[in-house]
Amino acid sequence: MEIQIVDEPANATATPTANCNSPALRLERKLTVEYRTLSQNKLNSNADELSSLKFHLDTVNQTLAKFGTSPIQGLEDPAVKRRRERDGPNTLSSPPNRIFLKIFEWLFSGFCPLLWIASICVWISWKPLGKPSNPQYLALGIAIFIVIALQASFSAWQEWTTSRVMASITSMLPTETMVIRNGELVKIVAGELVQGDIVRVRGGDKVPADLRLIEVTCDLRFDRSMLTGESDAIVATVNYTDENYLETRNIAVMGTHITQALALAFTVMGRIARMTASKKTERTLLQIEITRFVTIVAILSLLIGVTLIIIWASFPNFLLISDALVNSAGVIVAFVPEGLPICLTLTLTLIAKRMQNQNVLVKNLTTVETLGSVNVICSDKTGTLTCNRMSVVNAGFLDAVFTPDALRQQCASGKGFTAAQRLYETAALCNSASFDPATIGLPIDERSIIGDATDSSILRFAENICPVSQLCGEYCKLFEVPFNSKNKWMLSLRQKVVASNSVSLPQPPPLLLVKGAPDVLLPRCSTVQDSSGQIHPLNTENIERLQGLQHQWSGLGQRVLILCRREFPDTNPFAGLEDDQAELERVVFIHNCNLCVVGLVSIEDPPRKEIPHVVDTCRRAGIRVFMVTGDFALTATAIARQCHIITNDKVDTIEDVHAGLLKCAQNTFVSAANNMLQLDEDSSSLVSAITRHEDKVSSLVLSGSEFSSLQNEHWDIICAYGEIVFARTTPEQKLRIVQELRRREFYVAVTGDGVNDSPALRAAHIGVAMGGGSEVAKEAADMVLLDNNFASIIVAIENGRLVFENLKKVLIYLMPAGSFSELIPMLLNMLLGVPLPLSVIFMIIICMFTDVWASISLMYESSESDIMLRAPRNPKREHLVDLKFFGQAFGFIGILEAVSAHIIFFVFMYWHGGFTPGDLFLAFNKWTLGDFHGKDQATLNLLLRTGQSIYFLTLVILQWGNMFATRTRRLSVFQQNPLWGPTRNLRLLAAIPFTLGVVFLFCYVGWFNRIFGTAHIPLPFFFIPIPFALFILCMDELRKLVVRTCPSSIVARIAW
C-alpha cells in the first residue's frame, strides 16, 4: 500500500493511520528499522538482558521520535554514514572458536580411536613387554603416531575447506531488503542497514534485524519457530501484547520470516538471532553411511585383533607376547582405510565447486549424496517449472473476450468504457505490486516491478490501458488483505481522496475490490457486468458461462483470475473506523459478499524450455516428477502435459482412487492404470517397474479439497501412480504430500520458490529452492538453484550419485590390499607357522602412502554413461558397505591379490632360498632358532625381509590392475577410457610412478632398511607381478561383461 505523507523534520512524529481527507497523505506498509550491530564482541546478550528491554513498550510516535527518522523520507546519506561508523555493519559475530575442543575431536574421532589402540599395543610391546626391546617397534610406534597426526590433519583440512566453501556459498546468497532512503524505495543488502532505517518487508522476506512493528496489515504473520519450536505462524500487532520483550508480538526477530502480508516496523537489536545462530541438524544419508562403515571396520578390526591374541595364547611358545600384540596392532592399522578422510573431503569439495559452476549452491556439502537417493521430485509450478514471467493474454466479460490491446483500444474509443473502466480500476487498485522508480522511464515491459509475478502481470495489464499512478493518487487505501495461498484472494478497501479545500463536500463512497481464484470468489458474488457495463444477476446460466470461460483458458495452461468489486452508494459501513483497525477488519469481512464480477483475466506463464527434457531424463533415471501447485486443476494439468509430467490421454481422478481401493483385496495389490504393483515392493523397484512400462504409466490429478476424505489405503494407491498433479493445494497439504511419501519409504526432493513451499521444503529429504524465490524458501531449502534453472537439478542428482559411486570405488580399491591381503599373511603366520610374508610396517606404508594417491585419483572419476539410467539407490537396503561390497573387495579382488602375492612370495623363497612351500608351512619358531635347512639366522632374516619387500611390491603392482578395474562398476575400461575423451583421468597414470617412488624410498634407502627391516628387491620381481595385475583386470572385465549381457544371472545379482 502506498502512503503519501507531507515532508516533515526527521525528529517529528508521524501518525501511521491513513486519513482520506488529506490529499498529501498516503500511507504505505513499511518497516522502520533500528538496531545495534552484533559485530561488536562486547555485546554478551542473554535472556535476562533481553527480557528487560523496553523498546516495544513505546508508542509508534515515541518510537519514530526517539530514533529521529521519518517514514516518508527515511534517512539521508549523511545520517546513514554517521550511524554506520558508530554502530558497524548489521552482521552477527562469528561463534567462539573452541580450538582445543576441535583438536580433541580431530584426534579422537573417526578411525583415530582404533589407531590409538594400535599405538598403545606397539608402545607397550617395545617397553616394558619387549625383552629385549625391539627398536623396530619404537619406529613402528612413531609411525602410527604420524598416521594419527595425519588423520587429524585431514579432519582439520576437511573442516577448513568445508567452511571456506560454505563461506563462499553464503556470500553468494546475500539477504536483501527494501528501505526508504532520501525519500525513495531502494533495495540494499541487509548488512548495510543502520539505526533508524525505514524498511519494508512482505510475505516471504527474511527479517533483516530485530524489528519494532509500527504498522501491519490485518493478516500479517511471522514465523518464530527458530525461537519457540512452534510451527504455527504468530499474528503480528502494532501494540505490545506482553511486557516481556521475548514474548510480545510487536517485535519481529532477526532471522525469522514474514510468512504473509506486509508490515511497517523497526529494528531494535538483532540480539535474539545470536542466541539461535547455531542449530542442530539431522544427519545426512552420507554421514549415516560413513558412521556405519566406521563402526563395521572398528568391530572387524578389533574382533580379528582379539582373535589373533587368542590364537597366540594357544601357541604361546611360537611368538613373544610383544610380537603377538604388534601383529594384532598391525591388523587394526591394516583395516583402517587411512585414505578415506582425505578422499571424502576432496570429493565433497570437488562436487561443491562443480555444482557451484553450474549455479547450484549446497548449504551442507554432505547433502549432495542425498540427491542420488531421490526417487520422487515434488515440484512447484510457478517460478519453478514455468518462467515466472507472467503476462495477461485475455480479458473477458460475461458476453465478450478481448486481448489487452483490443481492450485498450476499446477503452480509448469510449465504446464499452464503463465496463473497461471498472476492470481497469479493479486491476490497478487491488494490487500490491509497484513499479521500481529507477526504471519508471523505460517501456512497460522492461520496467522492474516490486511485487510477485501475478500482481506484476496485472499491473502491467492496467498500465497498458492507462497509467496507474494517477489513479492510485486519487484513492487512499483504508484496508488491505494481501493475497495468500490459503485464502487465494486479495482484498483492498479504497476511498476517493477529497481535496483539503473541499471540506463541505460529502465523503465519496468506498470501493471494496477483490481479485482471486474464480472457484473461491464466485460463491461470494451476486451480480456480473457485461462488456457494455450493464449489471446482470449471477444466475446459474451466467455462472456456467463464466466457468466455461475459465475452463477454456485453464485448458490452455493459463491461470484465471476473477476481478470483483462492491460499491456502497447509499451508506458507508466503514465510516469512523479508520482508527480502529480491528473493528474495520471485522466489518470488511462481513461485507466481503454480494460482489459484482467485473471481469476475468487469463495469465500466461509458459514452461521453461528445458523442463520437458529434464522430466524425461528424470523418468529414465527412475525418478518420478510430481507437480504440486496451488493452481486450478485444469491449468495445472495443461502445464503438466507441456512439461511431460502427464503423458497419458486418460487421467484418473479421486473417483478412480476410490474405485481402485475397492479392487484391492486386503491391500495385497494396488491398481495403477491396470498395472498391478505389490505394496511391499521397495520404492526403487516400484519406480523401476513404472519406468520400464511407460506405455502403462498411470496418471492422476487430485485437488486439495479432496484430501480430507483420504485414508492411508488411498495414499497407498496414490503413491503408486507414475504421474501425479496435485492442484489447489495449501502449504499444509503440500507438507502432507511429502509426509505421506516419506511414510512409504520414498526419498523425496521438493522444489519451490514461495513462502507456501517452505514447510514442504523443510520436511523433504532435500529441499531445492530457486535463487529468485523468497527468502523463506531459500532459508528452508538445502540447495539453491541460483539461475532458477530447473535443469540444474539433473546436474545435482548426477553429482549426488557420483559421490556415492566414487566413495564406493575408493573403498573397493582400498580394502583388498589394505585389509584382506594384509590379514591373510597374519593368519598363515599364526595358524600355519609360515614366516610372516608382510611386515606390519609395510601394512602401514600401503595404507598410508601407496594406496592414497590412487584413491584420490579415483575421486576425480567422471560419472559412468549409464549412471542416470539406473534406479535410485534405496538407503535402507543399499549401503556403502554391504555383503556385495565384501564379496567384491574380499571374495573376488582380495582373494586374487592375496593368492597372487603369496605365489610370488613362495617363488622367491624357492628361487633364492631353496625353500618349497611345504618347508615353510608349520615352520613356526624353527625359522627363528637358526640353522633352518642349513641356513644361518642372518641369511634367514635377509631372505624374509626381501620376501616381505617383494610381497609389498607385488601388492603395489596388483593394485594397479585393481585401480583400472574399479573405475567402473558395469562398463568396460574401453567404454570408460582413462586416456582421452570425456572420461579421461590422467591422474590414474600418475599413481604408477608415485607408488614406485614409495617402493624405492622404503626399500632402497639404507636408513629405512635398518630402521624398518626392509631390503632391496631383485630386478625380475618388478616384472613378475605385472601379468597377475593384468589377470585381475581381465577377470573383472569378464565379470562386468556378464553383468551387462546377463542382468538376471547370479553374477549380476551379486554385483556391487
Cα dihedral 299, 302, 304, 305, rounded to 10, equals 170
Q: What letter would DSSP give residue 182?
A: T
Residue 271 to residue 274: CA distance in whole angstroms:
5
Rounded to 5°, the CA angle 422-428-434 comes to 180
φ, ψ of residue 262 in degrees (nearest 5):
-125, 160
Residue in this structure with the C-alpha cell 602412502, named with its chain if needed: 849
For residue 132, cis peptide bond before it (omega within 30 degrees of 0): yes
Look at phi and psi of residue 788 and say left if phi exceeds 0, alpha if psi is from -120 to 50, else beta.
left
Cα four-point dihedral sign 617, 623, 624, 628? negative
Q: Which of 395, 465, 462, 474 is nearest to 434 (CA)?
A: 462
Is 519 a residue of the active site? no
Contacting residues for 660 by C-beta, under 8 A, at least 6 apart: 670, 671, 672, 717
Euclidean distance between CA atoms 256 and 432, whole angstroms: 22
- How many Å apart are CA 796 and CA 794, to the nearest integer? 5
| DSSP H/E element including 677 | strand 675-678
Cell of 916: 618349497
Helix (H) or strand (E) holding 272: helix 271-275
Element (DSSP H or E) covering residue 831: helix 821-832
Residue type, 953: L
CA distances from 120 to 337, 473, 650 (A): 19, 83, 71
CA angle 776, 777, 783 (to 5 degrees): 130
Q: Which residues contact 975 (CB under 8 A, 6 or more apart)?
A: 865, 968
Question: What is the Cα–Cα distance from 254 to 128, expressed in whole angstroms?
Answer: 61
CA-based end-to-end distance of the chain: 62
Q: Rounded distance, CA 783 to CA 170, Å?
A: 12
- Enclosing H/E stretch for 962: helix 937-966
- Write the single-letter amino acid at 564: C
400-406 contacts: CB < 8 A, separation 24 or more?
Answer: 400/530, 400/531, 401/549, 402/531, 404/461, 404/464, 404/465, 405/464
Residue with cell 479439497: 705
Give the Cα separation of 1029 and 1026 in Å (integer): 5
Q: What residues does 511 pair with on adjacent strands?
A: 494, 567
Which one of the listed residues 380, 455, 753, 782 is annotated catalytic? 380
Q: In Å, what is the CA distance from 426 to each residue of 398, 421, 467, 876?
A: 16, 9, 14, 55
Helix 1025-1045 to helix 937-966 angle (10° resolution) is: 30
8 A C-beta contact, residue 204 and residue 776: yes
Measured at the alpha carbon of residue 556, what is the angle toward residues 552 and 559, in degrees to the nearest 5?
85
* Widest CA span in the chain: 131
Which residue, among 108, 90, 104, 103, has the nearest Cα to 38 in the 3D structure?
90
Three-state secondary-structure class, residue 526: strand
- Residues carrying an active site annotation: 380
